[in-house]
Structure 1
Amino acid sequence: MTAQSKSRHGADAGTEELRQEVDRARQELGETVEALAARADVKAMARDKADQAKEMARERARRARRAVTSRQARTRAAQGGAAVATAGAVAALAVWMRRRRTPQARLRRTIRNAPVRLRVRRAQRAPIRVRRTGRGTLHI
C-alpha cells in the first residue's frame, strides 16, 4: 500500500506541474496575441506616433523659449545686429566711394556746377534747350 500511495502522490505531483506549465503557456500565448493585435492596430499606432511628435515639438518649443529669453541670447542678438549694421554701412560707403570715382560721376558734378545747362530731347521741335543756371561765369 505504501508503494501505491507513493505512485499516486507522484502522479498527482506530475499533473500539477503539467497544469502550471499549461497555465504559463496560455499566459505567454495571450501576451503574444496581444502584441500581435497591437501591431495590427494601425489607428492606435498612428495616435501614438502623433502623441510622440506633439511631445517632441512641445519640448523643442520649451528649449527654444528658454534659449531666446536668456540674457546671453539677447546679448548675442544685439552683437549680431551691430555686426550686420556695421557691414551694411561699410558696403554703402564702398559703393558711394566707387561711384564718386567714376568718370560719369565726375562729369555729372562738373555739369551740375556749370554756368549753362543743356537739355537734349529727341523727337521734339526744339530738341536743344539752353538754360542759364547762375552758377559760375559764362566764358564764350
Structure 2
Amino acid sequence: MTGSWYVVLEEETHKDAHIDGSSYDLYRWHLAQSTEVLGTREAAEAAARALADSHVPERFGRLLSLYPGARPGRQVYRMPDGTLLVRMTRRHSETRFRVSVGELIASQEEAEGERLPDPPSGLKRLFGRGSR
C-alpha cells in the first residue's frame, strides 16, 4: 500500500578487522526495523520520537541485562532533515542509531526469474575451455 507513513530504524554495527597486522574498526548502518503507523505524518513523527527515547540496540540490551536497574546515557539529536540520531553510552561503550519517518511511495513484490545453468566444474572452466 502506498501513501502510508512508516517509522524506519537504522542501527550502526561495528566489526573489528585485522589487515596486514593493523586493526581497524569498521562501522556500517543497516535497516533494523520498519513499522507502518496508521494515521498522519504527525502520528508517525510522535511514534519515531517515542522509539528514539526507548529503543535499546541488542548489543546494549545484552550488556544491560547483566546489571539490573542500569540505564545507559542517551542523547537524541534532531537533524535538519528530521531524522533523529541517537547516541547511547554505557561506561566505555558507545553505539548509535537513527530513527526516520518516511512515506511509502512505491512497492513491488519480488518475482522469481529463470535460474541460469550451473557452470562447468574443474580446470577446463578455470581456463575458459569448459563446455558452455
**TM-score scaled to structure 1, two decimals?**
0.16
**TM-score scaled to structure 2, two decimals?**
0.17
* More strand by percentage: 2
- Greater RCO structure (CA 8 Å; 6+ sep): 2
* More helix by percentage: 1
